[in-house]
Chains A and B, each alone.
Chain A
Amino acid sequence: GAGVSQSPRYKVTKRGQDVALRCDPISGHVSLYWYRQALGQGPEFLTYFNYEAQQDKSGLPNDRFSAERPEGSISTLTIQRTEQRDSAMYRCASSLAGQTEKLFFGSGTQLSVL
């Protein structure tokens, strides 16, 4: 596609529910990144992939968070047993292989946990 696409744009869920956030990167982009941005703060790194391989997951806050990219294209970030503190904007970005200096961000998914 023309840009990085994220869905849903908004997600409201109840505490304890699982959510899955989707990212469709720019066609041909090998690297895919997930960031989380709490209200009033800058984005924080969560994890990143090259192709289908998860290269770094050091930013995932706990084991309720997981991400996959099974075919090296679309990625899903899953949060299990959501808590109110998980409420944030979740941002996906993609780039050609490892080119952090040329990241393209999607519009994000705004997650609200009630």
Chain B
Amino acid sequence: AQSVTQLDSQVPVFEEAPVELRCNYSSSVSVYLFWYVQYPNQGLQLLLKYLSGSTLVESINGFEAEFNKSQTSFHLRKPSVHISDTAEYFCAVTKAAGNKLTFGGGTRVLVKP
């Protein structure tokens, strides 16, 4: 079975500052890794994913995450946040080609002007 730990439940950050959201996973098999975002009053949306290949993956809105197998981590970063990035972010894992996601507890990001 897989498990995910998001070490920070809340991250306050000023606009245009960098942010890092930490995610560590546990699995005995190969995994796929994901970051989902939930904006206020909306459903979960896929932000980015790692399936295989390059360990650095990017989203269209400036986020990036790096798969680190030795540290079993998949931290999410953005060099300069906007007010619109205020949301809750969930890290998730599934075994490669598996059928159920295991989510972390989420990290709330509050971007302050």
- What residues of chain A have their CB less than 8 Å away from a CB belonging to chain B? 4, 31, 33, 35, 40-45, 48, 55-56, 59, 91, 93, 98, 100-103, 105-108
Contact = CB atoms under 8 A, between A and B. Distances in A.
Contact of A107 (B42, B92, B102, B104): B42
Contacts of B105: 40-42
B1 to A, nearest CB: 10
Interface of B: 4, 6, 9, 32, 34, 36, 42-46, 49, 51, 90, 92, 94, 97-106
A42 B43 contact: no
A41 B101 contact: no
Contacts of A102: 46
A111 B32 CA distance: 30
A53 B42 CA distance: 29
Contacts of A55: 99
Nearest to B88: A42
Mostly helix, strand, loop or mixed at chain A's interface?
Answer: mixed
A45 B100 CA distance: 6
Nearest to A98: B99
Nearest to B4: A42
A101 B102 contact: no
Contact of B90 (A33, A40, A42): A42
A100 B104 contact: no
Contact of B100 (A4, A40, A48, A107): A48
Contacts of B97: 98, 100
Contacts of A59: 100
A105 B43 CA distance: 6
B104 A56 contact: no
B48 to A, nearest CB: 11
Contact of A56 (B32, B36, B51, B100): B100
B101 A105 contact: no
Nearest to A33: B100
